[in-house]
A = this chain, B = another copy of it.
Amino acid sequence: MIPVAERINGMFSDVKKAIKDRDPTTIHQLARSQAEAGAAYLDLNVGPGIADPVESMQWLVTETQKATDTPISIDSQKMEIMKAGLEVAKGPVLINSCKSLEVLDEWAALALEYDASLVCLTIDKRGIPQDVDTRLELAAAIVGTAIEKGMETTKIFIDPILFPVNVDQKQPNYLLEVCRQITFISDPPPHIICGLSNLSQGTKERGLINRAYLTMSLAAGLDSAVIDVLDKDLMDAAITTEMLLNKQIYSDAFLKAAHG
């Protein structure tokens, strides 16, 4: 699994305050703790209601990179903010995300310019699909367009959009089917990513729901997720799942070995 750590996000009050005050302490601490917990990317999102999102993103990128070498994921759907973040970023970046098939040309060009990976939501001008087939059709269109533009499929992350289970209980199961089938779109297939915490939004059993669904979706072909890497129970579930899928070598100390 490619864990994308979700915690440096202005939706959290400590991060919002740190951004407003330009106080790097919280950011450095979250960057280090998430990197140590096994993040492959640190997602950076300035959050809503920030007066200067462009400068704030540049500040977040710069401060995060002072604290750790772990690659960053720049989380914005605004081209201006993304470009500003990429300008100051070092190393391999995850662009999170291209919000619609109609703007993919422009975002794929940006990913190529910066040798970045690119998260693409399965959305087009018709809106967010609620079924399996439209998601797969869009995933295929995204991969086709990105390849045409010169991208490698290994740099494409398809996000088939996971809804909260308390909004539509059919969706989690649909997403599993989407995961199973996306692997047939191309060889090698694109990565499949989801925003896991969204699933359990507003429920009373967030930990249990997140753990069970991450396990199910990894077994169905998902290979990346935006998650709380500081949730040790969740990380343990993911590690155990990958061991059972024969993607991590079993030993009596497999958990410890994976945590490093």
Contacts and interface: CB of A to CB of B under 8 A. Distances in A.
A89 to B, nearest CB: 35
What is the count of identical protomers in the complex? Answer: 2
A254 B240 CA distance: 25
Contacts of A240: 205, 208-209, 211-212
Interface string A222-244: 00000000000000110011011
A87 B213 CA distance: 44
A129 B98 CA distance: 47
Contacts of A211: 211, 237, 240
A237 B212 contact: yes
Nearest to A241: B212
Contacts of A165: 243-244, 250
A254 B205 contact: yes
Interface stretch (A131-139, A150-158, A167-175): A167-175
Nearest to A167: B250
Contacts of A250: 165-166, 169, 203
Contacts of A172: 244-246
A112 interface: no
A37 B110 CA distance: 56
Given A173-B244, A204-B253, A208-B255, 11 more contacts: A169-B250, A170-B246, A172-B244, A173-B245, A173-B246, A205-B240, A212-B244, A215-B216, A216-B219, A216-B245, A219-B220
10 contacts: A165-B243, A165-B244, A170-B246, A172-B246, A173-B246, A176-B219, A203-B250, A204-B252, A215-B216, A219-B220
